[in-house]
Amino acid sequence: MAACIGTAKRQAWRRLTGCILVLAITSWHTLHAAFFAEISRRDPGRRELRCEYSGPGEERPPDTGQSNPRNSYVSSIMLVPLRLLELSCYPKTCRQCWGSLKEASQTDMANFQNQIPPIQTTSSTSKFRLSLPLSCGGRLLVQGYRASEQQVPPGWPTGSFQEWRSLVFESAPETAKERGPPFVQSVSKVTCTADGRWLPEADPQVLALNYPKTLAASVAASLVMMDARSPRILVIGLGSGSVPLWLANAVPDSSVDVVELEEAVIRAAGEALGFPAAGGSGGTGSSPLRRALRGRLQAICGDGAALAAEWAADPHGPRYDAVIIDAYDALNRVPRPLWDEAGPLAEALPVLLKERAVVAANVPPGFPTEEMLRGFQKRLQGSKAQAAPALALEVPETANTVALVLRGSGSAVEFYGHLCEAAERFQQSGVCLFDAPERLTKCAVQAW
């Protein structure tokens, strides 16, 4: 009897020891994933978000055999609820109000409003997350809508959820008539905690709208084409920070400096739009992505053109593989100091850029793209016989133009061909969830 009791005790002890060991291993893996694990380039189970959808309505509904109406004047989006988008793209008939520094007439705006179906911008499930005054007048608004596809990254606390959030610029009441309607600057998919202990964080693999996808694909392909190692990138204009965040995540060993003039935009990006390198109040936790990008992604409050001139004058200042211009003023125009040949940025480029580098700009319809590109070419040519090749890629869905100048390359015809080949190689790396080569080949192309 005593022997049986002893055997039973030993078996019970072994079972108890085994259970404790299993619990210890499980707890270690959970803690490691939450606090120490590196961010995977493509998290398991994350669907490839290649499908795009345009038209009034919500996120793409289940396939019922009925297609939603499409409208070419509404920006092509990627599973984004259109209630977040207010007049994000003007039709070609109103292009003169963007780039030629003229305002659209009230008749033009009324005609434009009548050409697109009404878009619901508020509902019981759509909420304003932040409202801040802008130093130039007006306000910025951050609007959120709970995402139907919840793909919370590994390492986030239990109960975390995802929202689509848009950054909207709204004119001051006294100038709204002259400035036109509010416009959406950018859209991000953001992960949040229910109790607010972690700051919101944008999904680094998602670019919702087509013009930032084209801009990001062009820059990434240029860096591949130049075989840039540990590239340093300057972005002038933050917005929600989706493009610099995407580049920092997708381009290996890159470091990205973002300069933004409006302090309120930096605050909104950090507090509500999920940009992991901008400051924000609240939140004490640190996500795996924030730790992974620490020291590689930063937001700087200041005048981009003035800082570029200051850095170029400093022999020990930063030198960049890519400079991206993605900034607009309160009238939705690219500030002249950022693109004029006689401006401080163009003057600084020959010193600010490395010997092989790219300048990229996102500009609105009607903008004097050729004038800007030829000015950059003259500045970068110097005493060389051949000018730096330049391209203008018109994004078909929004009529924005992505303009590129490549320093240290051959002819413009070769530039576009090599750019498309580099986009194919970049796509094969597996870090890009949208079709980067298609974003380049779908555009109408002009070369100089």
Average pLDDT, the chain: 77
What CATH code would you report for 210-447?
A: 3.40.50.150
How does residue 289 score in pLDDT terms, banded at 50, 70 and 90? Answer: confident
Is pLDDT of 57 > 60?
no
Banded pLDDT at 54 (limits 50, 70, 90): very low
- pTM of this prediction exceeds 0.85: no
Going by the DSSP 8-state scheme, the letter that residue 61 receives in this structure is P
Query: pLDDT value at position 386?
Result: 77
pLDDT reported for residue 330 = 67
Measure the CA–CA gap between 237 and 127, rounded to whole angstroms: 25
The predicted pLDDT at position 180 comes to 58
Dihedral of CA atoms 87, 88, 93, 99 in degrees, nearest 10, equals 130
Q: What is the pLDDT of residue 196?
A: 83
Average pLDDT of the segment spanning 294-315: 96
| pLDDT for residue 38 | 41
Question: What is the percent of the chain where pLDDT is above 70?
Answer: 68
- 278-314 as b/e: b if 16+ CB within 10 A: bebeebebebbbbebbeebbbbebebbbebbbebbee
Mean pLDDT of 414-434: 92
Mean pLDDT computed over 333-360: 96
Alpha carbon distance 314, 352 (integer Å):
10
CA dihedral angle for residue 436, residue 438, residue 439, residue 442, rounded to 10 degrees: 170
Mean pLDDT in residue range 13-23: 70
pLDDT at 155: 85
How far is it, in rounded angstroms, from Cα 262 to Cα 148? 32
R_g of the chain, CA atoms, integer Å:
24
What letter would DSSP give residue 364? -
Q: Please give the backbone phi and psi of residue 332, each rounded to the nearest 5 degrees, phi first.
A: 65, 40
For range 214-234, the mean pLDDT = 97
Report the pLDDT value the prediction gives residue 179, as an integer from 0 to 100. Answer: 57
User: Where in the chain are the domains?
Assistant: 82-202, 210-447
pLDDT of 290: 84
Q: What is the predicted pLDDT for the residue at 403? A: 98
The pLDDT assigned to 328 comes to 85
- What's the average model confidence in pLDDT over 139-168? 88
Averaged pLDDT for residues 75-102 = 36
Instruction: Answer whether residue 320 shows pLDDT above 50.
Output: yes
For residue 279, name the pLDDT band (cuts at 50, 70, 90). low
